[in-house]
Structure 1
Amino acid sequence: MDRSEGDMKSVGFFGIFKQSFKTIFSWKKIFAQITVTSILPLTIVFLAHIEISRYLFWKLERNSLLLDTDSYYRLHASATEWLYYVLFKISYFIFLTVFSHLSTAAVVFTIASIYADREIVFRNVMKIIPKVWKRLFVTFVFIYLVLFIYGVIGEVALVITRSILNYSTLGLILTLIIRILYVIGFLYIILVCELASVITVLENTHGYIAMRKGKDLAKGKKKVGMGIAFVLYSFLEGLLVVYRWFVEYGHVNFQLAMVWRVMIGILCGLLVLMFLLLIIVTQTVLYLVCKSFHGEVIDKLSLSTFLRAYMGETVVYPTVGEEIQLGRPQPQQV
């Protein structure tokens, strides 16, 4: 990175994107290796989940419509399909969590090493996975829990509004307002969760404490972080819409031949792959910007010592209250 800890705090919305792209293209080899080993499997799991979910859901709908067949057979088939669906969802979240751990830890450690002017070797990047996966797992559990609770609250609010006001003009207006507020709140939660993920890798904390520190760190850069999340996740959602229209239902909507659907599917997969990498890189750069904005020291020599501890080069860990990445407020210049 071409910026020091002193001027990172002035980096804004476009500056974070610029710094992220510059970091990726300046270190193409290491990021390509990380992408192939961790983000590519994450992308495959992500897209396979869409296809398999559609197939299983179609079978569930078909069984529910078999009203003229034997009721015992229909009930047994439906129960079996629901069991497959639940087991598939559990497997999906397991694989999603595993590869999310791998990609997050690898990318965050790589960018921290670049920032600390350390030599980066791919095998060393992979060494940190066993040392941080437990902390990341706890943090991810809190992230999933927060997102689940927030989603339930949003759905309950919509159901109550529709049940009271139905589809009247006032009901539609309130529904629109609730959806807008939900999106704003969702972007803020995503911002906090992303910072918490980086904190878990680079600081001696995890879980609820990491979430709370992410919340504190987001102050002052909330609009910038939420804006970045909005752009990235909007593009990602747009890619998924294109995938559904032209790949899943391309033969129905546009009478596309299989070869075209496969080509569009590969293109969408590559773009999703790049966006997943960009999301993790930008959240790490945003972390550095937020640390600098709050006047917390990220000394490159100290950070390098901290990263060497991951590699087993030293066993000197920061003491409680003196963590390298937690930093201390920089002295104000008179």
Structure 2
Amino acid sequence: MDLAEEELQMLTIPSLLRESVDIPRRSPNTFYLITLTLVFPLSFSILAHSLFTHPLLSHLSSGDRHGHDLTLLLLFQSLYLIFLFSFSLLSTSSVVFSVASLYSSKPLSFSSSLSSLPSVLPRLFLTFLWVALLMLSYYLLFLSSLFLLLFSLDRGNPFLVLLSSSAVLFLLLGVHVYITAFWHLASVVSVLEPVYGLAALRKSYHLLKGRVRMGWVLVFCYLFACGVINGVFGVVVVHGDEYGYGVLARILAGGFLVGVLVIVNLTGLLVQSVFYYVCKSYHHQSIDKLALSDHLGGYLGEYVPLKSSIQMENLDI
């Protein structure tokens, strides 16, 4: 993919998606192995965990509140969150590093992508902690505002209560999608620039200006697709016996939905990587391919002087 800075600025959402899905063709073996070892386990765990938690939840809700079942549920959920968090960071760092290597014409292989993980993961982890703190603060503020709103409304007017609650929920959804776009861009910044944590969030905030609508739409479509896949999986696979689906049909449907989610997750990671370059070009912050290559080489143990900024006159991807 050879795009000049002006072409990056003109990318629409459909063309950005096309450019993103074309990237794996430049190094198919690397992205095949990343998908198989990182993106597939992530996608499988997202869907399959409900198969294990559903029986435990059903047993607990039936009135037989056994401490053993509750302990198993809490243990399984804890392990699931650790697994999900770990593979999410691993997938993000590997894909962002691989895309940047291709953009900077740096030799790319699956082993080099894995070799970068020990240096990249701490940076992503610190950025995630700041995002988690931001999310927690926002939700606490939201719940407090919702409680005060419902408390102050006339409860004798159910239409007004429903209308106000719906408006607040739509606002929650909109801000949640924006923060998610903000987080994804900050993750790419943490990998490709010599900043991370709070500094990466500040950089992401400034980069997102002018491209908020595009980022919001991209993240909303991704979350919507994931929601639909999860919903269909829950109806057909998890609760399939209640709706008359046979075992074979549930297995085939489950395998198909996992495959679709793998494609959605990989595409989402590729899109967030390309979106970073779109935002940089929009603000005329071009990327020095040599400086980017040196920065990526630092993750592999190659000694290079880390530059404070990654800029040049134009970007040839």
**TM-score of the alignment, normalized to the shorter chain, above 0.5:** yes
Choose 1 or 2 for highest CA Rg. Answer: 1
Stretches of structure 1 lacking an aligned partner (at least 5 in a row):
67-73
**Alignment match, 1:52:** 52
**Alignment match, 2:309:** 323
CA distance, structure 1, for counterparts of residue 143 and residue 176 of structure 2: 13
The structure-2 alpha-carbon separation of the partners of 1:161 and 1:243, relative to structure 1 and needing over 3 Å to count, comes to farther
CA distance, structure 2, for counterparts of residue 4 and residue 116 of structure 1: 13
Q: Following TM superposition, by how much is the alpha carbon of 1:235 offset from its aligned partner in structure 2, in angstroms?
A: 1.1
Match of 2:74 among 57, 67, 86: 86
Aligned residues: 312
The structure-2 alpha-carbon separation of the partners of 1:263 and 1:155, relative to structure 1 and needing over 3 Å to count, comes to farther
Match of 1:289 among 268, 278, 281: 278
**2:195 matched to 1:205?**
yes
The aligned amino acid for 1:120 is L
The aligned amino acid for 1:104 is T
* Residue-by-residue CA offset, 1:166-195 (whole Å, 9 max, x unaligned): 471111111111111111111110110000
The answer to which of 164-173 and 41-50 deviates more is 164-173
Q: Following TM superposition, by how much is the alpha carbon of 1:159 offset from its aligned partner in structure 2, in angstroms?
A: 4.5
Output the aligned Cα RMSD: 2.1
| Aligned residues of 1:5 and 1:298 also touching (Cα < 8 A) | no
| Aligned residues of 2:297 and 2:304 also touching (Cα < 8 A) | no
**Alignment match, 1:146:** 134
| Aligned residues of 2:56 and 2:69 also touching (Cα < 8 A) | yes
**2:17 matched to 1:2?**
no
* Residue-by-residue CA offset, 1:9-50 (whole Å, 9 max, x unaligned): 222222211211121344332211100111111112212322
Give the structure-1-normalised TM-score. 0.87
Q: What secondary structure does 1:109 align onto? A: helix
CA distance, structure 2, for counterparts of residue 48 and residue 130 of structure 1: 28
| Aligned residues of 1:97 and 1:140 also touching (Cα < 8 A) | no
The aligned amino acid for 1:323 is S
Match of 1:195 among 174, 185, 188: 185
Q: Following TM superposition, by how much is the alpha carbon of 1:207 offset from its aligned partner in structure 2, in angstroms?
A: 1.6
The structure-2 alpha-carbon separation of the partners of 1:105 and 1:235, relative to structure 1 and needing over 3 Å to count, comes to same
Q: What secondary structure does 2:195 align onto? A: coil
Stretches of structure 2 lacking an aligned partner (at least 5 in a row):
none
Counterparts in 2 of 1:157-172, with a 5 A limit? 157-163=145-151, 164-166=153-155, 168-172=158-162
Q: Following TM superposition, by how much is the alpha carbon of 1:6 offset from its aligned partner in structure 2, in angstroms?
A: 4.6
**2:34 matched to 1:34?**
yes
**Alignment match, 1:71:** none
Match of 2:91 among 87, 99, 103: 103
* Residue-by-residue CA offset, 1:122-174 (whole Å, 9 max, x unaligned): 11111000111111111122233333443444444445545544471111111
**Alignment match, 1:235:** 225
The answer to which of 264-273 and 27-36 deviates more is 27-36
Identify which of structures 1 and 2 has the higher relative contact order when contacts are C-alpha pairs closer than 8 Å and 6+ apart. 2
* Residue-by-residue CA offset, 1:173-229 (whole Å, 9 max, x unaligned): 111111111111111101100001111111122222212211111001000010111
| Aligned residues of 1:51 and 1:248 also touching (Cα < 8 A) | yes
Q: What secondary structure does 2:24 align onto? A: helix
Q: What secondary structure does 1:106 align onto? A: helix
Q: What secondary structure does 1:7 align onto? A: helix
CA distance, structure 2, for counterparts of residue 86 and residue 228 of structure 1: 34
The structure-2 alpha-carbon separation of the partners of 1:207 and 1:3, relative to structure 1 and needing over 3 Å to count, comes to same
CA distance, structure 1, for counterparts of residue 147 and residue 258 of structure 2: 35
CA distance, structure 1, for counterparts of residue 206 and residue 55 of structure 2: 43
**Alignment match, 2:247:** 258
The aligned amino acid for 1:138 is L
**2:207 matched to 1:217?**
yes
CA distance, structure 2, for counterparts of residue 87 and residue 5 of structure 1: 49
* Residue-by-residue CA offset, 1:40-78 (whole Å, 9 max, x unaligned): 11112212322223223223212xx24xxxxxxx5xx24
CA distance, structure 2, for counterparts of residue 249 and residue 165 of structure 1: 39
Q: What secondary structure does 2:306 align onto? A: coil
The aligned amino acid for 1:173 is L
Identical columns (%) = 29
The aligned amino acid for 2:100 is A
